[in-house]
Amino acid sequence: MADPELRRIRVYPVKSLDPREVASVRFAERGALAGDREYAVVARPPDAEHDPETASVGGRGDYMNGKRTAAVHRLRSSFDPENRTVTLRTEGGEPRTFDLEPPEARDPLNDYLSSHFGEPVSVRREPSGGYPDDRDLMGPTVISTATLEAVADWFEGVTVEGARRRFRANLEVGGVPAFWEDRLYADHGECVRFRVGDAELLGVNPCQRCVVPSRDPDTGAETPGFRERFLEMRERTLPEWADSDRLDHYFRLMVNTDVPESEWGTRIREGDAVTVLGTRPYGE
């Protein structure tokens, strides 16, 4: 028997860097969690004119994320939302704190990050929904604690917290068995309505994974045979009821969501009940 509740909320103030755990959060514009991926580090040519507040990024390849470089894993970060600062540290280095606002104050941060990545980069801000990987499904990603525990058991030396840092979900649901979140999507053209506290969300798609989960979250070193082992175990442990044409391969884990505009501004909290409401057509 499942008794689903929201156990953990994580937002990622700077895309691809470390999370900030919060007890509650509201839904912002476009359905993103407020403050999630609000800032992003992007590559830029040395001679490019740069507007630090430009929201559009020329392509996903411009992000300095784990898909582009393993160097992001070697940066530890913490974010101060009141002072709008970020503190960065590399292994063996001293922590350094940088201003994020106003935009013109970011030059020292941009220099530090350019040195770390070995190419010119700059930090940009998008307060209206941030910089999600999926520009169509901007709601929070969802996984269960039991799923993270199960996946951690597949790999020697991987802890549950390490699995959290590899898969980088926003919302973690407790009180349910492993892979319970596979109930939160249906076939193409459909979605699953579910409630978290006072907010209604739409589960749409099992998240397609990239290279990031296969790397050690501290060093960026590749875990040998990660993808092959993951594919084998995901197929072996897939619940019998998880029958969806959206699950077209087994390198998928956690659920992408959409948040209706009527829910923007609603706040969710740790301990909120999670209730599956049923399947409906998606896009209507």
Residue 26 in domain: no
104 and 77 in a common domain:
yes
| pLDDT band with cut points at 50, 70 and 90 for residue 133 | confident
**Average of per-residue pLDDT across 161-185:** 97
Task: Check pLDDT > 90 for residue 104.
Answer: yes
The mean predicted confidence, pLDDT, of the chain is 93
Give the residue from 105, 125, 145 where a domain finishes: 125
**pLDDT score of 59:** 42
Residue 252: count of CB within 10 angstroms of its CB: 18
**Average of per-residue pLDDT across 15-20:** 97
203 and 154 in a common domain:
yes
165 and 266 in a common domain:
yes
Give the up-direction half-sphere exposure of residue 180: CA atoms within 13 A in the CB hemisphere.
24
241 and 152 in a common domain:
yes
The two tokens of residue 179 are 């892979």
Task: Check pLDDT > 50 for residue 60.
Answer: no
**pLDDT score of 61:** 43
Question: What is d(CA 165, CA 24) in angstroms, rounded to the nearest whole number?
Answer: 20
207 and 106 in a common domain:
no
> What does 146-159 look like in DSSP terms, one character per residue?
HHHHHHHHTSTT--
254 and 139 in a common domain:
yes
Cβ atoms 38, 13 nearer than 8 A = yes
The two tokens of residue 181 are 């979140």
Residue 33 in domain: no
187 and 73 in a common domain:
no
Give the residue from 83, 102, 125 where a domain finishes: 125
140 and 272 in a common domain:
yes
Question: What is d(CA 215, CA 219) in angstroms, rounded to the nearest whole number?
Answer: 8
**Average of per-residue pLDDT across 86-111:** 96
Question: What is d(CA 102, CA 216) in angstroms, rounded to the nearest whole number?
Answer: 34
Residue 165 in domain: yes
> What does 32-81 look like in DSSP terms, one character per residue?
PBTTTT-EEEEE--TT----TT----S-GGGB-STTT-GGGGGEEEEEET
Taking the C-alpha atoms of 154, 90, 208 and 41 in order, what is their torsion angle to the nearest 10 degrees?
A: 170
110 and 138 in a common domain:
no
**Average of per-residue pLDDT across 102-122:** 96
Provide the percentage of residues in the chain whose pLDDT is more than 90: 86
246 and 193 in a common domain:
yes
| pLDDT band with cut points at 50, 70 and 90 for residue 53 | very low
Give the residue from 125, 159, 177 where a domain finishes: 125
Task: Decide: helix, strand or coil at residue 263.
Answer: helix
151 and 57 in a common domain:
no
Question: What is d(CA 270, CA 115) in angstroms, rounded to the nearest whole number?
Answer: 38
The two tokens of residue 146 are 């039991």
CA distances from 21 to 165, 169, 261, 270, 271 (A): 12, 11, 25, 10, 14
**Average of per-residue pLDDT across 201-212:** 96
Cβ atoms 180, 2 nearer than 8 A = yes
Residue 16 in domain: no
Residue 20 in domain: no
Of the candidates 106, 128, 107, the one whose C-alpha atom is nearest the C-alpha of residue 55 is 128
Question: What is d(CA 277, CA 191) in angstroms, rounded to the nearest whole number?
Answer: 11
Of the candidates 35, 31, 1, the one whose C-alpha atom is nearest the C-alpha of residue 15 is 35
Cβ atoms 174, 229 nearer than 8 A = no
Structural domain containing residue 61? 39-125
154 and 92 in a common domain:
no
Residue 81 in domain: yes
Our count of domains for the chain comes to 2
**Average of per-residue pLDDT across 126-146:** 93
| pTM recorded for the entire structure | 0.93
Task: Check pLDDT > 60 for residue 51.
Answer: no
Residue 21 in domain: no
Question: What is d(CA 186, CA 13) in angstroms, rounded to the nearest whole number?
Answer: 30
Q: What are the pLDDT digits (tens) for 215-272?
A: 999 999 999 999 999 999 999 999 988 889 999 999 999 999 999 999 999 999 999 9
Residue 19 in domain: no
**pLDDT score of 31:** 95
Task: Check pLDDT > 50 for residue 140.
Answer: yes
**pLDDT score of 128:** 87
**pLDDT score of 2:** 76
